[in-house]
Structures are given as C-alpha cells and as structure tokens.
Structure 1
Amino acid sequence: MINFEIARPKKMKFKPGEFIMIGLIIRGELVFRAYSICSPTWSNTLEFYSVKVPNGLFTTFLHTITTKSSVIIKMKPAGNLILETLRPGKRLFLLCTGTGVSPFISIIFNHETYIKYNEVIVVLTCRYSQDLQFFNNKLKQLTKVSHIRPYAKNKLRFHLSVTRELYPYIGRITWLIKSGRIIADLMTYNFNKMDRFMICGSWQMVFNVTKLLKNIGYKRGTTNNPQDFVYEKAYINYLRGKKIESNLWLTG
C-alpha cells in the first residue's frame, strides 16, 4: 500500500469524505479510477491512499509515478460519505477495511465532525498489523494540528483489528459487531437509536455490514433523506459503469 499527494487546484473544493476521479495516460489511453480524498479540506495538496492490485493495469502504473509525473483529475468531487447524509446523533462509527479508511481520514481532520458528535469511533480492520500504519501515522499528525486537536480531544476513539495474524484485537467488522466485541473492547454502551454509521471498504464488507445494520433497525441515508447509516453508493455506481460528469484538470 502507498499514499501519494498531488497539487490541489486552487479552485477545487470538496467536502470531507468525498472522492474524485484520477486519470493516467496508460499505453496511449486515458484511464480513470475513483480515489477517496484523505486530505483535510484546508490542505493545499490532495492526498490518496492506494493498494497495488496484482497485475492491475492502473495501480501498476500509479506506483511508478514520481514528483515529475502528471495526472489528470476530474474537478467535481462526488460521494455519499458526508455528514449531511446522516441525521443528528451522539456517536459516529466510521467502519472500514484497508484503504477504505481514506475518506474517514478527511472526516476526522474536520472540526465540524466533533461539533456534531459527542464521540467519533474509527473501526478499522486490515489483514496484517503493518497495514494499520498509515492510519496510526495520521493519528500522530492529528495531535500536531493545533486548530483540530482541541475538538478531537476526548472525542476521537478507535478500534483496530487484523484478520491474518496475532494482534490484540482480531476479527472482521461484522463479527466484532455481532459478538459485542467492539462495545466490550471500547468499554462503552450498546448501540442505540442515536448512533450513526459510515461504511467504506470492499463490496462484500459493505454488503455484510449494511445488511447487519438494517437487521438491527437502522436505515440508510442520503443527502435528500438523512438517516442512520451511509455507504459509498456513488462509488459503487461508478464501478457499475454509470458516468459521473465533471471537468478535467491536469496536475503534475
């Protein structure tokens, strides 16, 4: 896994949790992929977190870019993982796997997140403990941001687990919820009607977690109808071939 940064166009605006389309010229063709923005909205750069897909066309080329490389981005961000899709609540759970933590980095660096919620709990599951390092590094950075640190203090919590090696916490997110391990490990109170959830990760993980939340009684929200939980529907639509209109910007 790698993280990389590109210059942020001065006119580009985005909300914490949104993604943009990144394009590379590969073998003479322009190829786009969707990437969630890790950066805070006040950053002068756009940061992304990527995994190299074995034999993957885009990520193979992506991992060869340098400071002299140019990429193309679509100027209009999109996405459902924004605070406006959720009803007012007291606890916000950010449930993610692997690079699915990306949009939540931007969210926890946003002071409005802590104004809206009494607790913000990141639940991240990866295959190996080394895959947790990116998030741990971001936590260290957050403690050094003077205008965010006071908001996050005593409100930001996290539960990190792995699935393929020994670690203090082991298990997939669905099991952690079903078994009550998240609640027990965090020594907090059970889920209730004032809890809100955002989910990002592999399609199978998103399917399993949203199904579980629906069975518990939570409802999926949208910008037009804020509810209890949300997942990245716009990104899934892209994967299914639906077009997201936007302008292009060359950066390098």
Structure 2
Amino acid sequence: MILIMYTCFYIKMNNKFELSSEYALAKILSVKHYTNTLFSFKTIKPNKLKFKSGEFIMIGLIIRGELVFRAYSICSPTWSNTLEFYSIKVPNGLFTTFLQKITTDSSIIVKTKSTGTLVLEALKPGKRLFLLCTGTGVAPFISIIFDPETYIKYDEIIVVLTCRCSQELQYFNDKIKQMTKEPHIRPYAKNKLRFYLSITQELYPYTGRITWLIKTGTIIADLMTYNFDKMDRFMICGSQQMILDVTDLLKSLGYIEGAINNPQDFVYEKAYVS
C-alpha cells in the first residue's frame, strides 16, 4: 500500500498529517496505462488551484517515509473541473515506480501554485503556432490546444509530435477524439488545428526527428504549407537534448527566445532542462 501525502510544512498529530495552505489533497479519479512505459491519470481539481494553459505544478508522494515531489505539466484545460497528467514510467525511478501504482483508492498532494514558461503571454502576436514536442512533452500542449484563447490568437496551430513507436501516440490520439466531442473547444479548433505525428523506430507515414524535419523542409512539404517566416511562433517541450537541439536550430533561423516580460518568437519549458 502506498501512502500518498505531502506537505512542505506539516504537523503530525495522532498519526495524521495537516497540510499547509499552499498544498491540497487530490483524489485519483482514473488511471489509464497506454504502454509498459506510459500512463495518464486524473484527479479532482482543488478549488484553490488556478493555472494558465501550459503551466505545471508540483505533485508529491511520501515514499519510504521521505517527502518526494516532481514537476508535472497539467494536461487539463483551464475550464475543466479535473486535473489530468501524463507520465512516463522511469525504469527504477524513485518517483514513478510508486506513482504508476496509484488507483482510484489513492490520493496525491498537489501544490496549488502553478508556474512555467510555456504560456501564450511569452510570445509575440503571430499567425502560426507550432507546438514541437516528443513523448510526454505533449502534456502541456494538450492544455493549450483545449484553450479557446489559443485559436483566438492564431490562425493556425500545428502540433508536431515525435515518438519512438506508433503505440506511444495513443494518448494524443485519444485527446483529439475527445476534442471532437467537446462543445467547449470543438468550434474553435475546427479548421485551425493541425497535427504532424512522426515515428523514429518503426515504419510510419511520417518518420524522423523534429530537427531533421525542419532542416530538410520535410515538414513544410508534408503539410503542404508555406515556409517558416517571421510571423511563426514556437513552443518546445520534450527531453533535455531535444529542447537544446530545437532551440539552437530556431536561433540559427533567426528566431528569438521569449518570456512573459519580453514576448518573442519561441519558448520552451525550462523546468525540464538543467
């Protein structure tokens, strides 16, 4: 049995923990395992939690008597009454070894203050928004493509997701199917949302890593769209090396990194890059 409770400042009285006001207990509502290494889970959304699309929060567990927590991007849209997260199962990983065993009888602790650099306010106005991601790096972009504001700000939103095998695309495909049935977002996304799914380790209609797809012009040709220009904006999330490679490439093409206090052409999630 896993005890799942966390607080930065806690008092133990009569074998119970009291949470400080900046944390909340969130009951697990559902868990879905997609592959041997990927799963998602939903929790109740604490009333005091407010977040922007693309942000992350800290979620915590008590593991072998120690307080352990990690940053997890929120997949849910801001208007949802639940929180959703998408996780990899790290082999022998301290945190995910326990996290992957949660059930609807479990709860986690969430910090009710969100943060992150993948927010629309950090980008200058533009026409196309490219969401470039690998693996579970798609998580914050699920929140973003379920946000009506995204479609108000941009003429076209293009998700570019690269995974190792086609089975790892199931979570994203499930979210797209959900979108087609969701009246909150379906009218906004219609005729504006596009996606390009690429695989690196098996045969698939589209193959190749994101940097190669951009450098060779393959992605532009496959999408049958116009070349990158000064009105394109980019968000990047994935492995540390992927983020470094893609941001270096964008800089070489003349794009400038942005921030909330200095909106520019692209942003990436700095929490996942040491």
Matched, 1:57 2:77: no
* Structure 2 partner of 1:39: 76
Query: Identity across aligned pairs (percent)?
Result: 76
Matched, 1:161 2:198: yes
Q: How does 1:125-164 map to 2 (within 5 A)?
A: 125-164=162-201
Counterpart code for 2:190: K
Counterpart code for 2:185: I
* Cα distance between partner residues in 2 of 1:156 and 1:70: 34
Give the secondary-structure state (helix, strand or coil) at the position aligned to 2:236.
Answer: strand
Matched, 1:228 2:253: no
* Structure 2 partner of 1:93: 130
* Structure 1 partner of 2:229: 192
Equivalent pairs, count: 237
Contact 1:96–1:123 (CA under 8 A) maintained in structure 2: yes
Counterpart code for 1:144: K
Contact 1:78–1:234 (CA under 8 A) maintained in structure 2: no
* Cα distance between partner residues in 2 of 1:171 and 1:233: 24
* Cα distance between partner residues in 1 of 2:199 and 2:59: 29
- TM-score by length of structure 1 reads 0.93
Of residues 253, 256, 259 in structure 2, which corresponds to 1:216? 253
* Cα distance between partner residues in 1 of 2:64 and 2:209: 39
Give the unaligned 5+ runs of structure 2.
1-37
TM-aligned CA deviation for residue 235 of structure 1: 4.1
* Cα distance between partner residues in 1 of 2:271 and 2:134: 18
Contact 2:124–2:265 (CA under 8 A) maintained in structure 1: yes
* Structure 2 partner of 1:246: none
Counterpart code for 1:218: Y
Contact 2:75–2:142 (CA under 8 A) maintained in structure 1: yes
* Structure 1 partner of 2:151: 114
Contact 2:53–2:147 (CA under 8 A) maintained in structure 1: yes
Question: Moved runs in structure 1, 4+ residues, more than 2 A?
Answer: none
TM-aligned CA deviation for residue 148 of structure 1: 1.0
* Cα distance between partner residues in 1 of 2:149 and 2:219: 25
Of residues 103, 109, 133 in structure 1, which corresponds to 2:140? 103
TM-aligned CA deviation for residue 7 of structure 1: 1.0
Give the greater-gyration-radius structure (CA). 2
Greater relative contact order structure (CA < 8 Å, 6+ sep):
1
Q: CA RMSD in A?
A: 0.7
Give the unaligned 5+ runs of structure 1.
241-252
